[in-house]
Amino acid sequence: MRKLFTLTFVFLLSFSWLYGQNKTVTGTVKDSQSMIGLPGVSVTIKGNSGGTQTDEAGRYTLEAAPTDSLVFSFVGYVSQSIVVGDKSQINVFMDDENMALEEVVVVGYGTQKKVDLTGAIGSVKAAEIVKQPAMSAMQSIQGKVAGLNVTASEAPGSTPQVTIRGLGTALGGRNPLYIVDGFPTDNLNSINPSDIESIDVLKDASSASIYGVRAANGVIMVTTKKGKVGNVKIGYEGYVGMKNMLNQVKMANASQYIQYYNENIEGIGRGTLLKPNQANNTDWFDEILQNGTVYNNAINISGGSEIVDYFVSVNNFTENGIIDGSKFVRNTIRNNNTYKFLDNKLKFSQNLNLSFNKSTPKPFGAFNDAYRQTPLAPVMFDNGRYGTSIYNSSTGIAGYQTAAGETTGNLNSIGNPVYAIQRANELLNSTRIQGGIEGEYQIFDFLKINSRIGGTKIFSNSRTFTDIKDAWLNGNPLRTDQEFQDLKDKNPNVVGYANNSLNYRKNEDFRWQWETFLSFDKNFNGHQINAVAGFSREKSGISNMLSGTGYDLPVLEQYWNLDMASADYTKVVNQTYYTPRALASYFGRVQYNYNSKYYATATIRRDGSSVFRNTGEYFATFPSFGLGWTISNEDFMKDNTVLNFLKLRANWGVLGNQDIPLNVSQLLTAEGSSNYNYVFGPGQDLVLGAAFGSPALPVRWEKTQETGVGLDFEMFDRKLSGSVDYYNKLNTNVLMNVQPILNSAFANNFYDHGGKVRNNGVEVILNWKNSVSEDFNYNIGVNYAYNHNELTDVKPAYDGAIGGSLSNGQITKQIKQGQPLYGWWMWEADGVWQNQDEITSGAKYGTPRPGHLRYKDQNADGVIDNRDKVFFGSYMPTSTYGVNLGINYKAIDFSLSGYGVAGNKIYNALKGTRINGGENITEDTFNNRWISSNGSNVNPGADRDSYASSYYLESGNYFRINNITLGYTFKKLYNSTSNMRLYFTAQNPFMFTKYSGFSPEIASDGNPALTSGIELSAYPTTRNFLFGVNVQF
């Protein structure tokens, strides 16, 4: 044994001798982000005084021995040291000090080196954000951070739904907390994505708990760009694009519709059969869809000196949606400056973002109408009226023409989608001013104080014009102007017969925040201590609303002023001041590390929220701890050349949530036609009434306990890096909006702690990054997150609350212990009734007919009712994953990214809910339907019921290539730092899914109790093609 050891030792010695000879090493040093050669980088041999500098193109040549380490250093970049070994060419990618290996992440009230973290923080940098152009940066980072589930909507101006590590609460406070440059905001819609320097997602308790107050859903820290010392830089980013529907579903054509309709009528045994070969075969989706377009132009100017750093940008983003007339325009102006005094000891940073939005939304209900409206109806009738489903019920021919004695009916009660879009006349305007100023003073070299104050003011208004008369006339082509006039004369004060109405609504909203904190930073004998302590005051929702409605306005748009409304109708004015919310907080954090090996973090935040007014118990305390051990920095790992970095992390903490309205007992009142009010007297005058609301219970903060462990590693010369995290989040006292007991005195829902929700899961990130040669490098990254959501405990009286209404009397979700939050709950489809004998002897609901779905009698009591409904998982995915690939070859860059979810179910309510039986169906539904001759035991026939059942619940799994980009960079256009990149991007070019509807990605409003996961009037996913140019001077 000993001999072997000696032998090896000798061998190694001789090996190193062999490599002891000097040789020439060459290479190129590039910026790791822009991939541009860096001139003037100092290249030295460790321990030697000599060295060289890179040339204009970033090239260098130098003599070195294989045992030497080359040190690359450059101002503003992270130094690197590389052992020469047998290499004769060493290409280096230098990371900006804010980037990559020594990456710095923004944590609350400070920054931290990524290697020093004890928590789980996902970061996305500017370069990745702009690669996926979108209105909101949150949509751009979909699939980039494990555990961050972004459900995007392609509707112009919409806000993506964001969930971090699973949904932990049923209430309104589902969104993560967004902190932009230290100031909280609701979403990132008003921020130009190319103004963003980085987005850091604080996922675990130990990182997020510094924002204990609203951290239970995670915290998203956004840092906008600032100027850097150096020459003036001018950047331009522009793109144009085209959008169309990604996954269009083929609807039945006229003859298929007729056959389906007639089979339904035959099944029911009542009604008029439609004649074959009718005049129209309208494809409603063709009629309402257009190619959407998107334009983006952004210019920024930045630079800095010893006195001031500056960054100014302007941006215009314009999108025309895929429905005619739907448009969203955003203009932003940003100015971030830093003023420096007393040799940088005193700094003032100011940021200001102005955002002006203008949009003309169109009703998503048009998608629903286009799906259901019969192809037999024309877009327009020959008499100039919009087409309806009217038909001659004597002859069975669609249209309004009748001969004497013949009568008409309607095939369905669906509107004309083209008209629905045309008549929707809503104009939204908003101006948002967000700004803040922060002072920083270095009191001692180890202590500084920061104080920042900032606010956001939003002015918004909407104008909605409704042509009542036009809608009445277009409801039935047989109606005449005179008939309307007669009705109007007969009902002089009834607004239902006004010609039109105009609603004008104004909202103002203001929030402000003031924070002051001390930061301590000291290093002695390898002990590094870093501490923060401070306080915060915040008031939000300081808002009011003023709305007015008038009737009978002039028809021309230029005269749409409420003052021009007719005096024949009472103008309605509504005005309300809303209750603001105040938060008072104290926070502190201590971070300690010894020799970058052992880490400990302790955080505490004490928060008070004004919503807990009924008890006066405003405050709660949220502690957390984190531990880290960088194993690779231990002596026994020093020689490990495979594993460059290995760190274990563990954390525990308590997070809070309080996003409920002011919790007080109320006296309930309402204006107008509400069930508090009544009419009395011969003139039946409206009198106002009131009722007591449910007494407020002494609820407290929601507390979520989270435990997590994680592992970070880098291997093979840092080519492979990755991390694995496990977490277990338990919301110990979920605030539920509880329905009172049915026969109790109070009607309105109240807030109470009703149960526990657990989210536990695993996140895995792997990245492989390699520079094959000076001209060629690539990276591949995958991330995967698994989350299990479960309601582990519910107070008995609150168990069983229902949700997921389909707006036809059917519901699809229920709260139940042991199930995911608002799990799918419905009848289990169990084949199809084939004949009357089966029906007579089987368990059924109501009086089904052959061809209807049969449902499983789960409790075997011989009838089908709510007690036979069972659970079918959740609309929330259990797995989300992202794949990212990047290749740079010379001036060409190529990237591809994909995003997928699995384990969720989507309810296809477009297919399922029918009211009249005269709605259109998809071609697939038509082709696969039950008919007595095929005896399908899966799909119902044309004559079917409209109950919610598992038949319409489909797998929501999908994988979507969400970005393919090919770029070409022209370097040194004007000087060594100027360049121009042209690129072509295909967003969402392909989607792999078995879902039969338009899109398995349904954002809705994120409320689990409502239509989340139900496709009813959802905006479909679009496929976008963009061409863009980025120029830097």
Partner 1 sequence: MKFRNLNIALLMAAGLMVSSCAKDFLDVPSNEIIEAGDSEENYSPEVLVNGIYGMFTDWNYGFSFLGITEIISDNSEKGSSPTDTGSDKDILDNLTYTSTAGSFAALWEQWYKSIGRATNAIEYTENYGLTDEALKNRYIGEARFLRALNYFWLVRGWGDIPIQEQDLIKRVPQAEVYDYIEADLQFAIDHLPAKSKYAAKDLGRATKGAAQALLAKVHLYQGQWQQAYDLSQAVISSGEYSLEPNYEKIWRLEGENGSESIFEIQARGSSIAHGIQQYSQTQGPRGGSAGIGWGFNTPSQNLVDAFNAEKDEIRRDATIIFRNEVMYDGLKIGNTENEMYNEKAYSSANGGAGDTDKNLRYMRLGEIYLIKAEAANELGNTNEALTALNAIRTRVKLANTTASGQANIRLAIWKERRLELAMEHDRWFDLVRTKQAENAMKAAGKPFESKHYLYPIPDNQLIQTPEMTQNTGW
Region 453-492 residues binding partner 1, contact defined as CB under 8 A? 475-476, 478, 487, 490-491
Cβ(651)–Cβ(623) below 8 Å: no
Contact between 526 and partner 1 by CB under 8 A: the answer reads no
Please identify, using beta-carbon distances, which residue of 898 and 918 lies nearer to partner 1: 918
In terms of CB distance, is 358 or 539 closer to partner 1? 539
Question: Which residue from 65, 56, 28 is spatially nearest to 43, judged by alpha carbons?
Answer: 28
Contact of 157 with 356, CB cutoff 8 Å: no
Q: How many amino acids of this chain bind partner 1 (CB under 8 A)?
A: 99
Q: Which stretch binds partner 1 (CB under 8 A): 246-254, 564-572, 826-834, 978-986?
A: 564-572
Nearer to partner 1, 344 or 491 (CB): 491
Subset of 675-734 contacting partner 1 (CB under 8 A): 675-682, 684-693, 695
Q: Select 271 or 831, whichever has its Cβ closest to partner 1.
A: 271
- Is 741 one of the binding residues for partner 1 (CB under 8 A)? yes
> Residue type for 303, please?
G
- Shorter beta-carbon distance to partner 1: residue 316 or 677: 677
Q: Per-residue x/- marks for partner 1, 162-201, CB under 8 A?
A: ----------------------------------------
Q: Between 495 and 514, how does the x/- string for binding to partner 1 read (CB under 8 A)?
A: xx------------------
Q: Does 578 bind partner 1 (CB under 8 A)?
A: yes
Residue with smaller CB distance to partner 1, 525 or 673 = 673
Binding flag, residue 346, partner 1 (CB under 8 A): no
Per CB under 8 A, contacts with partner 1 among 28-87 are: none
Residue 2 binding partner 1, by CB under 8 A = no
Which helix (H) or strand (E) segment is 287 a member of?
helix 284-288
Q: Scanning residues 796 to 815, which ones bind partner 1 (CB under 8 A)?
A: 796-797, 799-800, 809
Can you tell me the distance from the alpha carbon of 128 to that of 276, in angstroms, rounded to the nearest whole number? Answer: 56
The mark string for 760-799 relative to partner 1 (x by CB under 8 A, - otherwise) is ------------------------------------xx-x
How far does CA 553 lie from the centroid of its chain? 40
Q: Which helix (H) or strand (E) holds 258?
A: helix 254-268
Backbone phi and psi for residue 412, each to the nearest 5 degrees, phi listed first: -160, 180
Measured from the CB of residue 563, what is the shortest distance to partner 1 in angstroms? 19
793 vs 789: CA distance, rounded Å? 12
Q: Which residues 117-156 are close enough to bind partner 1 by CB under 8 A? A: none
In sequence order, what are the residues at sequence separation of 6 or more whose Cβ sits closer than 8 angstroms to the Cβ of residue 322?
154, 243, 244, 245, 289, 290, 291, 292, 1020, 1022
String of contacts with partner 1 for each residue 874-893, x by CB under 8 A: --------------------
Nearer to partner 1, 610 or 834 (CB): 610
945 binds partner 1 (CB under 8 A): yes
- 305, HSE (Cβ side, Cα atoms, 13 Å): 3
Return the range that interacts with partner 1 (CB under 8 A); candidates 155-163, 588-596, 833-841, 908-916. 908-916
Q: Which of 26, 291, 570, 641 binds partner 1 (CB under 8 A)?
A: 570
Using the rule CB under 8 A, give the single segment among 273-281, 587-595, 735-743, 983-991 that binds partner 1. 735-743
Continuous segment of H or E residues that includes residue 285: helix 284-288
Using CB under 8 A as the criterion, what x/- string covers residues 839-858 for binding partner 1?
------xxx-----------
Q: Candidates 27-35, 588-596, 633-641, 915-923 — which segment interacts with partner 1 by CB under 8 A?
A: 915-923
- Give the 3-state secondary structure of residue 16: helix
Of 94-102, 366-374, 570-578, 967-975, which part binds partner 1 (CB under 8 A)? Answer: 570-578
Residue reference for tokens 């989040």: 729
| C-alpha triplet 620, 621, 624: angle, nearest 5° | 150
Q: Which stretch binds partner 1 (CB under 8 A): 65-73, 109-117, 219-227, 859-867?
A: 859-867
Q: Contact with partner 1 (CB under 8 A): which of 127, 268, 573, 772?
A: 268
Q: Which is nearer to partner 1, 348 or 845 (CB)?
A: 845
DSSP for 367-424, please give it. Answer: HHHHHHS-TTS-SB-TTSSBP-SEEETTTTEESS---TT--EEES-S---HHHHHHH-
CB nearer partner 1, residue 622 or residue 881:
622
Q: Is 574 one of the binding residues for partner 1 (CB under 8 A)?
A: no
Q: How far is the CB of 650 from partner 1 (least distance, A)?
A: 33
DSSP line for 472-495: HHHT-TT--HHHHHHHHHHSTT-G
Least spacing, CB of residue 945 vs partner 1, in Å: 8
Nearest to 429 by CA among 462, 466, 464, 465: 462
Task: Kindly write down the DSSP assignment for every residue of 136-187, as one continuous string.
Answer: SHHHHTTTTSTTEEEE---STTPPPEEEESS---SSSTTSPEEEETTEEES-
Give a three-class secondary structure readout of 956-969: CCEEEEEEEEEEEE
Restricting to residues 356-415, which ones interact with partner 1 according to CB under 8 A? 393, 407-410
Nearest C-alpha neighbor of 135 from the set 272, 298, 317, 320: 317
**Which of 8, 807, 859, 866 touches partner 1 by CB under 8 A?**
866
| 562 belongs to the binding site for partner 1 (CB under 8 A) | no
CA distance 657 to 171: 10
Site string for partner 1, 647-666 (x = CB under 8 A): --------------xx-xxx
The residue behind tokens 């239970």 is 216
Among 326, 609, 895, 985, contact with partner 1 (rule: CB under 8 A): 609
* 297 lines the binding site for partner 1 (CB under 8 A): no
> Is residue 321 a contact point for partner 1 (CB under 8 A)?
no
Listed ranges 36-44, 592-600, 717-725, 914-922: which one lies at the site for partner 1 (CB under 8 A) = 914-922
**Given the complex with partner 1, which of 298 and 696 has the nearer CB atom?**
696
Nearest 10 degrees: Cα torsion 271, 276, 278, 284: 80
- Calculate Rg over the CA atoms of the chain: 33
Selected from 555, 863, 892, 938, the binder of partner 1 by CB under 8 A is 863
264: contact with partner 1 by CB under 8 A: yes
Q: Which of 484, 746, 778, 1033 binds partner 1 (CB under 8 A)?
A: 746
In total, the chain counts a number of residues equal to: 1033
Q: Which tokens sit at 938? A: 């899966």
Query: Which of 112-120, 176-184, 201-209, 673-681 is the region at the interface with partner 1 (rule: CB under 8 A)?
Result: 673-681
273 part of the interface to partner 1, by CB under 8 A: no
Tell which one of 255, 280, 946, 977 touches partner 1 (CB under 8 A): 946
Query: In angstroms, what is the minimal distance from the CB of 854 to partner 1?
Result: 15
Please give the full DSSP string across 813-857, using - where no structure is assigned.
Answer: EE--TTS-TTEEEEBPEEEE--SHHHHHHS-BSS---TTSEEE--
Give least dist CB 867 to partner 1, A: 7
Single out the residue of 494, 555, 892, 973 in contact with partner 1 (rule: CB under 8 A).
Answer: 494
Output the DSSP codes for 717-730. Answer: TTTEEEEEEEEEEE
**Cβ count near 528 (within 10 Å):** 17
Q: Which of residues 421-460 bind partner 1 (CB under 8 A)?
A: 443-444, 449
Using an 8 Å Cβ cutoff, are 253 and 926 in contact? no
- Residue 638 CB neighbour total at 10 angstroms: 9
Q: Give the whole-angstrom CA distance, residue 850 versus residue 975.
A: 79
Footprint of partner 1 on 197-216 (CB under 8 A): none
DSSP labels, 186-229: S-STTS-GGGEEEEEEE-SHHHHGGGGGGGGG-EEEEEE----S
Structure tokens at 1023: 């496929």
* Structure tokens that stand for 150 in this block: 């972004």
